[in-house]
Structure 1
Amino acid sequence: MKIVISGFYGLGNTGDEAILEAIIDNLRAELPNPDITVFSLSPEQTAKAHGVKSVYRGWRHDNKGKIRALREADLLISGGGGLLQDAYPTRFLFGPLPYYLLIVFLAKLCGTKVMFFSQGIGPINTKWGKILMRVFGNMADFITVRDEYSKQLLRQLGVTRPETVVTADIVFAFRPKEDEACVESLPLRGDEQLVAVSVRPWFHHRDYYWKIAKALDELIESEDITPVFVPMEGRHDIYASEQVVKQMAHGTSCHILGPDFTPNQYLHFISLCRLTIGMRLHSLIFSALAGVPHIGLSYDPKVESLLKRSGMWDYSFRLDDIDAAKLVNNTRYMLRHRESLSRIVRQNAEQMRRDALENIRLLKEKFCSNGRVANK
């Protein structure tokens, strides 16, 4: 089966690279010798990392290569992740939403079937974004989304023709491998009480930096924790992490991991931590996968949705509602009740792993017939 995968790949976002690795590994586990091509901003790097074919994803180069790949493909997988949104500027054909939907349109022009795969939809607030979703979203042959919110939003936008099934983020089907690279990069004694911290820039918001800084200072003093910042998106998260550390009295007690570790290496590091305080969705998904209790700082409905499914929402905050004192108290509670909370997280993560694997089962059911590829 020839498959093209379109997503936010080759740009250094740990969550999206974890999505790609999980898709590829599970396709290879469930399909006989799939022929996989990935649209990537760093095609040579992606091809080498995953043993796949890769084509430059942007419109500036190799459009013939994209068309050729889609013509030869049996299926375009669009996703997973939060591709279909207009939180970032969207102008006519510029922005993430037009890009991914134009790839869908191009696939249909080439006679290739399309699956929106483990997608998180939205936010979509602009009139133009809503029009694009209604027109091109209905071209998909089948859709899986990672939460109920996304399914309901598709219906509100008028995407009604394709069947839509709620599953879970495909990263819950990630196949971890033991790798100590992250922890070996840090000057640790070995007996620290590690707390993973994931922060990111978020448009004009700034006040959460000092709230997190204040909470971490108090926790270092009273609980003897060692915060380690995990930059899930390279220099952007390094910058945000530095903004927190600069506002701390005990910033020298913190560490910031380098930006070039693999998703598997970050996942393994988080598995060694007592808990996670995180903004990035996939820092929280990694925590759930590893059975690590987590406090989410939600800047988007996708984060809140995940926290409710992992059982950690009661300890978490919306970004605008972070209270440093409550953050300290919730962290203390988690440290004291870690084992019972870890059991809750593991149980919920196992259900989401089964839901994530439904993405692959449904792909086989809808696009393969008796082990053969269904007609294009």
Structure 2
Amino acid sequence: MRNLVVSGYYGSKNAGDEAMLAAMLEVLSDLDPKLHITVISADPEDTRERHGVDAVGWLDITAILQLLGHADLLISGGGSLLQNVTSRRSLYYYLGIIFLALAVHTPVMLYAQGIGPIEGGLARWLMKKIVNRTKLITVRDHGSLEELAHLGIRKPRIEATADAVLAIHPVDKEAGRHILTEAGAEGTKPVIGISVREWCGWTHYKDVLASVAQEVVMRYDARVVFLPMQYPEDVRAAESIAERIEGAAKAQVTVLPGEYRTHELLSLVGNMDLMIAIRLHALIFAGVMGVPMIGISYDPKIDRFLDSIGETPVGSLENVTPDELLAAVQDKWEHRKAIRQHTAALLKKQRGLAERSAELAVGLLDTDAGKK
């Protein structure tokens, strides 16, 4: 039995990151059912219960060091771990875990990561010094390849694959229908999903989304459902938008109030006719479930993912307007059948690329480079 340790933003109630872990575990276990996997988690008990793997606390450095000392490989990823725009401290933490693995001679793989942006001379120097000592890097987009090149990281084998979540299998829509019914959002009306987050205390984009939600309810006789990807923060953000909606449209707007598992979120998205999202993994869930999507950018990772499937964001949180967002909705609505077919073909390729990261990880374990 080979021991693999996974480091990432797990156990923090972020649906996208939990979906990444679920997808990674699914594909890795399919490739090698005998792998023993331990996850470094902010909530080890939740990770054990949710994913059925061993876990240790992310601040228990003694336990982590002991774990790495007996590991055959550390996987760092997936996600946007190595950047310092949304959090300046997390970059140093994840680099620190990589450094600990290297200190005890455990090989390291960066798995389907989105690299950067990385600001500051010290941060960029540390990235170059530490990441150049890893064995293998897969990144989820070509923008990350460019960031690695700018940082001078060239020594490991580097390959562009795709976001780990794209390897996850589509699910049945029944669980999502049940949740919608429980929330009072059942019926035959079309469903337009919206996934939002708080960002820098800004309110402009909230006003825009409220205006658009109100208009699409009336224009398409639709129901709007807000989908939380980070609990409970996204629920509060969605409620602050729903409060801005006025008149008869308000009765057709639902804010889902709970914390949902990966399969539930996928099933919910599968019940939607269109997804408007700020959250990256809400867009990816739409791709997995074959639902037309509209992305609003707040981070290069949104632009990079949309570019990988031939899409572009409809503005950014700072400058998006109701008119351009409504125009995008109308275009997707009129061509949604053709869009579903086109996106399905593109996502099939992305699924294969996402599985490639797992294949490379298992291959690394099978070589002398992946053994201590």
Return the TM-score normalized by structure 2: 0.95
The answer (yes or no) to whether the contact 1:199–1:241 under 8 Å persists in 2 is: yes
Instruction: String of CA shifts for 1:111-133, please: whole Å, max 9, x gaps.
Output: 11100000001111122221221
The answer (yes or no) to whether the contact 2:192–2:275 under 8 Å persists in 1 is: yes
> Given residue 18 of structure 1, which amino acid in structure 2 is its aligned partner?
A
Give 1:186's match in structure 2, choosing from 172, 183, 196: 183
Give 1:125's match in structure 2, choosing from 119, 125, 131: 119
189-198 vs 177-186, greater mean Cα deviation: 177-186
Aligned to 1:2: 3
The answer (yes or no) to whether the contact 1:311–1:344 under 8 Å persists in 2 is: no
- Secondary structure at the aligned position of 1:362 is classed as helix
Q: Residues 285-324 of structure 1: matches in 2 within 5 Å?
A: 285-313=284-312, 316-324=314-322
Aligned to 2:46: 45
Q: Residues 18-29 of structure 1: matches in 2 within 5 Å?
A: 18-29=19-30
Q: Does 1:251 align with 2:250?
A: yes
Instruction: String of CA shifts for 1:122-174, please: whole Å, max 9, x gaps.
Output: 11112222122112111211100000000110110122211210000010001
Give 2:366's match in structure 1, choosing from 365, 368, 371: 368
Instruction: Give the deviation of 1:373 after TM superposition.
Output: 8.7
The answer (yes or no) to whether the contact 1:74–1:373 under 8 Å persists in 2 is: no
Instruction: Give the deviation of 1:317 after TM superposition.
Output: 2.5
Instruction: Give the deviation of 1:89 after TM superposition.
Output: 4.6
> Given residue 71 of structure 1, which amino acid in structure 2 is its aligned partner?
G
> Given residue 26 of structure 1, which amino acid in structure 2 is its aligned partner?
V
Q: 1:320 to 1:122 in 2, by over 3 A?
A: same
Give 2:91's match in structure 1, choosing from 90, 93, 97: 97
> Given residue 21 of structure 1, which amino acid in structure 2 is its aligned partner?
A
The answer (yes or no) to whether the contact 1:196–1:228 under 8 Å persists in 2 is: yes
Aligned to 1:215: 212
Q: C-alpha separation between the residues in 1 aligned to 2:161 and 2:315?
A: 24
Instruction: Give the deviation of 1:53 after TM superposition.
Output: 0.8
Q: Does 1:174 align with 2:168?
A: yes
Q: C-alpha separation between the residues in 2 aligned to 1:241 and 1:188?
A: 16
25-34 vs 143-152, greater mean Cα deviation: 25-34
> Given residue 18 of structure 2, which amino acid in structure 1 is its aligned partner?
E
Q: C-alpha separation between the residues in 2 aligned to 1:30 and 1:129?
A: 35
Aligned to 1:331: 329
Aligned to 2:129: 135
Instruction: Give the deviation of 1:45 after TM superposition.
Output: 1.3
Q: 1:121 to 1:109 in 2, by over 3 A?
A: same
Instruction: Give the deviation of 1:246 after TM superposition.
Output: 1.5
Q: Does 1:152 align with 2:152?
A: no
Q: 1:72 to 1:238 in 2, by over 3 A?
A: same
> Given residue 190 of structure 2, which amino acid in structure 1 is its aligned partner?
Q
- Counting matched residue pairs gives 366
- Secondary structure at the aligned position of 1:318 is classed as coil
- Secondary structure at the aligned position of 2:84 is classed as coil
The answer (yes or no) to whether the contact 1:105–1:139 under 8 Å persists in 2 is: no
The answer (yes or no) to whether the contact 1:232–1:259 under 8 Å persists in 2 is: no
Q: Does 1:109 align with 2:93?
A: no
Return the TM-score normalized by structure 1: 0.94
Could you tell me the percent identity over the aligned residues?
33
The answer (yes or no) to whether the contact 1:194–1:275 under 8 Å persists in 2 is: yes
Instruction: Give the deviation of 1:184 after TM superposition.
Output: 3.6
Instruction: String of CA shifts for 1:315-347, please: whole Å, max 9, x gaps.
Output: 732333312012112212211211001111111
- Secondary structure at the aligned position of 1:302 is classed as helix
Q: C-alpha separation between the residues in 2 aligned to 1:321 and 1:71?
A: 49
> Given residue 157 of structure 2, which amino acid in structure 1 is its aligned partner?
E
- Indicate the structure whose relative CO is greater, using CA pairs within 8 Å and at least 6 residues apart: 2
- Secondary structure at the aligned position of 1:248 is classed as coil
The answer (yes or no) to whether the contact 2:204–2:317 under 8 Å persists in 1 is: no
- Secondary structure at the aligned position of 1:36 is classed as strand
Q: C-alpha separation between the residues in 1 aligned to 2:258 and 2:27?
A: 26
Instruction: String of CA shifts for 1:66-94, please: whole Å, max 9, x gaps.
Output: 1111111100000000011101353xxxx
- Secondary structure at the aligned position of 2:93 is classed as helix
CA RMSD of aligned residues (A): 1.6
Unaligned runs of 5+ in 2: none
